[in-house]
Amino acid sequence: MNEKQLEHIRKGSGFIAALDQSGGSTPKALAEYGVGEDAYSNEDEMFDMVHEMRTRIITSPAFSSDFILGAILFEQTMDRDIEGKKTGDYLWEEKGIVPFVKVDKGLAEEENGVQLMKPFPELDKLLERANGRNIFGTKMRSVIHKANRDGIKEVVKQQFEWARQIMDAGLVPIVEPEVDIYSEEKEDAENILKEELLNQLNQLGENDHVMLKVTIPSVAGTYEELVAHPNVVRVVALSGGYSRDEANEKLKHNNGIIASFSRALVEDVSYGQSEGEFDESLRSAVSSIYDASVKKY
């Protein structure tokens, strides 16, 4: 583990950019950027285009460590180059931004009101590659749809089983049990989730470090105990389908939680913009998300 990066994430002022759309979500991400499916003829060309998009974002002067602490990458992005350096090295050495990588392989079918992560027996191999690419941490996502305690307990159990494997490899895991913002049982699900997360956190060793990525809670302050937990490096929030303005407004009421937005970060940038227009759109988004992350009521 890079101790300098750990302290940067723990104490720095800013937010985590999520640039980790993968697989099935890539065509949608490109479409929102203004690149239709007729612009590429196969998967390789699709991934080339999404890397061009991410390169444009990362190399923009608006994508700055003055506002951004870390960036979560898709596995392919981790393995590719930006301006002659592997993406993780470029982020840290040129930008001062800490690199993470998404390690889950998607969601299983819903059962007990939740979607677990699909099994991934080759996680250790990916973690070895991540270490070789100088990646600091990982991220993995499950989804909670209902306030089903058995289901939520299983989600958190699986997340922490993976987290222990990731910590053993010397990386810092971001545990992401997303609660569906459209769930009619969202508030109850979040209360159960908090209990289950605290139960798992309290079983960690003194030197175990994890991060948490959560949906912005229905009741502000719900996750204050998680923010204060000694094993938690940082609690970050996903936008989860909210517009950027709505996500920012909700985030402002949750002290100690910073943003880790994906779609909400890049909703105003597009392929057809000039470099000046692109940079200004990204700068405006970055500035507003930063303000929501560090300026609370």
> Three-class SS of residue 291?
helix
16 with 71: CB under 8 angstroms?
Answer: yes
- How far is it, in rounded angstroms, from Cα 186 to Cα 240? 12
**DSSP code of 83?**
T
Paired strand residues for 18: 72
Q: Is 213 a catalytic residue?
A: yes
- Token pair in block for residue 108: 């299983």
237 with 260: CB under 8 angstroms?
Answer: yes
- Phi and psi at residue 2, to the nearest 5°: -85, 110
Q: Of these residues, 102, 146, 194, 213, which one is catalytic?
A: 213
Q: Is 95 a catalytic residue?
A: no
Q: Of these residues, 176, 178, 190, 196, which one is catalytic?
A: 176
- Token pair in block for residue 197: 């997360």
116 with 154: CB under 8 angstroms?
Answer: yes
User: At which residue do the structure tokens 């937005």 appear?
Assistant: 261
Handedness of CA 222, 227, 230, 233 (dihedral sign): positive
- Residues with a known catalytic role: 176, 213
